[in-house]
């Protein structure tokens, strides 16, 4: 167990139940929130039989804090006094227990997969049309509407396919993940239900508040207004595309909370990496970070920026650098991160042709049994029959013998795997190529393996690597071409900041002057506007990066 810092102890011992903890990446937020729960219980601020509700938006944040809580609380206390659940799990619990208060039958089927995605696949909906359909459903259901009001709003919007899918959902008595918080909000609007949960939970802890939409915040407020500890960082608010409103949420929480404790010491990153993160503060509204132990980082760490003539040159250079790093520190991890997957395709291809151990995070990571099943399907795959099939989802499920699977968890993992396969087939990737991309294991083991990890910026949030290469730091890629409003551009700067802050020892920003379009035609690219701001951190150029590597104390780096 780590020795708590003074600020972590202040969070543990804060008397008032309403508290905002502002903690940038690598500053020990999860540890502090676990200590907060311990403190609330030890001093009987939440007395038995009341419990503490600990919740977050993502499974990853939920699992992280649950793991830390186990370090501070005995198993019996964890079981009887703390409830750790993500918002969808909380919503499902409310629906199962209290659906009757909104006149809802208990026979509705809770979600077990991306049902809306399945419907779009069954319709062979193009990629360009999927986004507006999913957004229409998502945005509509972020309001406290009943089913009739949802349909009325979809009619007003005029998205016929979204309306058809919603009508089918009702006919089949299914719930989607977007329905869960919508219905939960309607349920806690009932005074008797709200009073029950206020009595049951003496305090609430919300992790990663910047990822919230207003909807889960309204639910939390019904259960724990003025009795909630919020932890997070506005500068890490990068899920606007999913409806998150970090600035609005931050403002609402600050109005609710009587005390704010802010972290500034990073235990994750070298001074050089932190300097680059700090350079973006005028754009991200983040905290100025300092290294908790600057002398412990060999040569102060590395922060560089390099320009290449072409995307192929960039890929060749990064593979060579990865080989060089791994020759010195073979047990360390490198994240090669791009704002979008397509911009990273040149890097992916170069690593696929190399002997460098690497993991592509957007490939299928399947448990052994599911991997065997899907590989068997792809080994005997009949592409001609598949292309002719009117219902491609049904074709794949039939090929996998899905209806003979009875285990709920196996059914879910199979559905997810077949959806991934169908999406790749829609992109024109051959069945045998998909088969070779299947990894066997689980996400928790693969993402901690030494070597190179290829991923996108949003997927990497919450992770850390010894070294990070951010590729495609060009206009139209970061900021993304569809980011046109000031708020959208601000979020793009936050995405870049999050990618940089994954690094421990060093980070290198990379760009190319010429990047082919998806059709293969060369296109000139200009440097990202964000690089002008980052220039204030004085990142090393190509020559400086090479010189740093040549004199680096690799023994010390391996031990840090």
Residue 48: which CATH number? 3.40.50.300
**Residue 18 in contact with residue 253, Cβ under 8 Å?**
no
**Residue 279 in contact with residue 38, Cβ under 8 Å?**
no
Angle of helix 29-42 relative to helix 59-72, nearest 10 degrees, comes to: 50
Q: Identify whether residues 317 and 198 lie together within a single domain.
A: no
**Residue where one domain finishes, among candidates 402, 421, 440:** 440
d(CA 92, CA 5): 37
Q: Identify whether residues 356 and 503 lie together within a single domain.
A: yes
Q: Which of 501, 462, 464 is CA-nearest to residue 332?
A: 464
Q: What is the dihedral of CA 424, 425, 428, 429, to 10 degrees?
A: 60
> Containing H/E element for 68?
helix 59-72
Q: Is residue 179 part of a domain?
A: no
List Cβ neighbours of 390 (8 Å cut-off, separation of 6 or more): none
Q: Is residue 251 part of a domain?
A: yes
Calculate Rg over the CA atoms of the chain: 24
Q: Identify whether residues 12 and 74 lie together within a single domain.
A: yes
pLDDT of residue 79: 93
d(CA 49, CA 339): 47
Q: Which of 107, 72, 338, 327 is CA-nearest to residue 205?
A: 72
Q: Identify whether residues 463 and 426 lie together within a single domain.
A: no
Q: Identify whether residues 227 and 339 lie together within a single domain.
A: no
**Residue where one domain finishes, among candidates 405, 440, 475:** 440
Q: Identify whether residues 47 and 196 lie together within a single domain.
A: yes
Q: Identify whether residues 82 and 132 lie together within a single domain.
A: no
pLDDT of residue 404: 85
Pull the structure tokens for residue 152.
Answer: 């009325």
> Can you give the residue range of the structural domain that contains 461?
271-360+449-559
Q: Is residue 227 part of a domain?
A: yes
Q: Is residue 495 part of a domain?
A: yes
Q: Which of 350, 363, 331 is CA-nearest to residue 456?
A: 363
pLDDT of residue 163: 96
Q: Identify whether residues 348 and 471 lie together within a single domain.
A: yes
**Residue where one domain finishes, among candidates 440, 463, 495:** 440
Q: Is residue 105 part of a domain?
A: no
Q: Identify whether residues 350 and 497 lie together within a single domain.
A: yes
Q: Is residue 100 part of a domain?
A: no
Task: List the chain pLDDT tens, one digit each, 560 residues.
Answer: 568 888 999 999 999 999 999 998 888 899 999 999 999 999 999 999 999 999 998 877 888 899 899 999 999 999 999 999 999 999 999 999 999 999 999 889 988 778 998 899 888 888 889 989 999 999 999 999 999 999 999 999 999 999 999 999 999 999 999 999 999 999 999 999 999 999 999 999 999 999 999 999 999 999 999 999 999 999 899 988 888 899 999 999 999 999 999 998 998 999 999 999 999 999 998 889 999 899 999 999 999 999 999 999 999 999 999 999 999 999 999 999 999 888 999 999 999 999 999 988 876 666 677 888 889 999 999 999 998 898 888 899 999 998 888 665 677 778 888 888 888 888 888 999 888 888 776 555 666 789 999 999 888 887 899 999 999 999 999 999 989 999 999 999 999 999 999 999 999 999 999 999 877 788 999 999 999 999 999 999 999 999 999 999 999 999 99
Instruction: List b or e across 498-526, with b for residues whose CB sees 16 or more CB atoms inside 10 angstroms.
Output: bbbbbbbbbbbbbbbbebeeeeeeeeebe
Q: Identify whether residues 378 and 472 lie together within a single domain.
A: no
| CA terminus-to-terminus distance, the chain | 18
**Residue 266 in contact with residue 274, Cβ under 8 Å?**
yes
Give the β-pairing of 51-56 and 82-86.
Answer: parallel
Q: Based on the number of CB atoms within 10 Å of its own CB, is 345 exposed (0-12), middle (13-18) or buried (19 or more)?
A: middle
Q: Which of 52, 38, 9 is CA-nearest to residue 228?
A: 52
Residue 57 Cα distances to 107, 136, 557, angstroms: 26, 21, 35
Q: Which of 282, 298, 273, 330 is CA-nearest to residue 26?
A: 273
Q: What is the DSSP string of 263-311?
A: --EESSS-HHHHHHHHHTHHHH-----EESSGGGSGGG-EEEEEEEEEH
For residue 514, what are the β-bridge partners? Answer: 310, 524
The 3-class secondary structure across 317-335, one letter per residue, is HHHHHHHHHHHHCCCCEEE
Q: Based on the number of CB atoms within 10 Å of its own CB, is 238 exposed (0-12), middle (13-18) or buried (19 or more)?
A: buried
Longest Cα pair distance anywhere in the chain, in angstroms? 70
- Residue 477 C-beta-side C-alpha neighbours within 13 Å: 30
Pull the structure tokens for residue 508.
Answer: 């290198």
Q: Is residue 182 part of a domain?
A: no
List Cβ neighbours of 138 (8 Å cut-off, separation of 6 or more): 178, 242, 243
pTM to 2 decimal places: 0.85
d(CA 38, CA 34): 6
Total number of domains in the chain:
4
Q: How many CB atoms lie within 10 A of CB 341?
A: 15
Q: Is residue 102 part of a domain?
A: no
d(CA 378, CA 399): 9
Q: How many CB atoms lie within 10 A of CB 443?
A: 11
For residue 450, what are the β-bridge partners? Answer: none
Q: Identify whether residues 21 and 78 lie together within a single domain.
A: yes
Q: Identify whether residues 351 and 383 lie together within a single domain.
A: no
């Amino acid at each position: 167990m780590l020795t708590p810092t003074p600020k972590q102890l202040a969070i543990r011992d804060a008397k008032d139940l309403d508290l905002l903890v502002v903690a940038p990446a690598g500053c020990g937020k999860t540890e502090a929130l676990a200590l907060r729960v311990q403190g609330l219980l030890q001093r009987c601020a939440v007395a038995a039989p009341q419990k503490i509700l600990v919740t977050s938006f993502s499974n990853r944040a939920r699992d992280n804090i649950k793991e830390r809580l186990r370090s501070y609380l005995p198993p019996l206390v964890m079981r009887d006094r703390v409830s750790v659940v993500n918002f969808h799990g909380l919503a499902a619990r409310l629906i199962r227990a209290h659906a009757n208060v909104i006149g809802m039958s208990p026979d509705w089927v809770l979600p077990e997969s991306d049902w809306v995605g399945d419907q779009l696949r069954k319709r062979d909906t193009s990629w360009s049309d999927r986004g507006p359909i999913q957004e229409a459903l998502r945005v509509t259901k972020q309001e406290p509407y009943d089913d009739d009001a949802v349909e009325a709003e979809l009619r007003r919007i005029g998205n016929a396919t979204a309306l058809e899918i919603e009508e089918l959902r009702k006919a089949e008595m299914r719930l989607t993940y977007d329905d869960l918080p919508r219905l939960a909000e309607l349920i806690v609007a009932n005074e008797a239900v709200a009073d029950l949960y206020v009595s049951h939970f003496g305090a609430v802890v919300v992790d990663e508040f910047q990822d919230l939409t207003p909807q889960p915040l309204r639910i939390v407020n019904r259960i724990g207004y003025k009795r909630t500890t919020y932890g997070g960082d506005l500068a890490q608010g990068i899920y606007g595309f999913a409806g998150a409103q970090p600035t609005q949420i931050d403002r609402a929480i600050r109005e609710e909370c009587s005390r704010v404790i802010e972290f500034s010491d990073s235990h994750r990153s070298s001074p050089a990496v932190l300097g680059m993160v700090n350079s973006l503060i005028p754009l991200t509204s983040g905290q100025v970070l300092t290294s908790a132990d600057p002398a412990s980082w060999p040569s102060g760490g590395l922060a560089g920026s390099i320009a290449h003539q072409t995307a192929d040159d960039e890929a060749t250079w990064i593979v060579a650098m990865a080989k060089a790093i791994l020759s010195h520190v073979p047990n360390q991890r490198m994240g090669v991160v791009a704002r979008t997957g397509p911009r990273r395709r040149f890097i992916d291809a170069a690593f696929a042709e190399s002997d460098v151990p690497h993991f592509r995070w957007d490939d299928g990571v399947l448990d052994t049994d599911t991997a065997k099943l899907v590989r068997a399907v792809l080994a005997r795959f009949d592409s001609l029959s598949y292309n002719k099939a009117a219902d491609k989802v049904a074709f794949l499920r039939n090929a996998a013998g899905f209806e003979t699977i009875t285990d709920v968890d196996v059914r879910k993992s199979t559905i997810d795997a077949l959806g991934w396969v169908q999406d790749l087939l829609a992109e024109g990737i051959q069945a045998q190529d998909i088969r070779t991309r299947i990894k066997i294991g689980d996400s928790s083991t693969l993402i901690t393996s030494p070597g190179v990890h290829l991923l996108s910026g949003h997927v990497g949030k919450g992770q850390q690597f010894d070294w990070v290469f951010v590729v495609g730091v060009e206009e139209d890629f970061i900021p993304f071409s569809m980011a046109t409003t000031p708020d959208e551009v601000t979020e793009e700067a936050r995405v870049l900041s999050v990618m940089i802050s994954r690094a421990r020892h060093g980070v290198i920003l990379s760009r190319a002057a010429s990047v082919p379009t998806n059709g293969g035609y060369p296109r000139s690219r200009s440097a990202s506007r964000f690089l002008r701001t980052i220039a204030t951190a004085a990142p090393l150029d190509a020559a400086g990066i090479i010189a740093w590597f040549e004199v680096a104390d690799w023994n010390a780096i391996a031990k840090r």
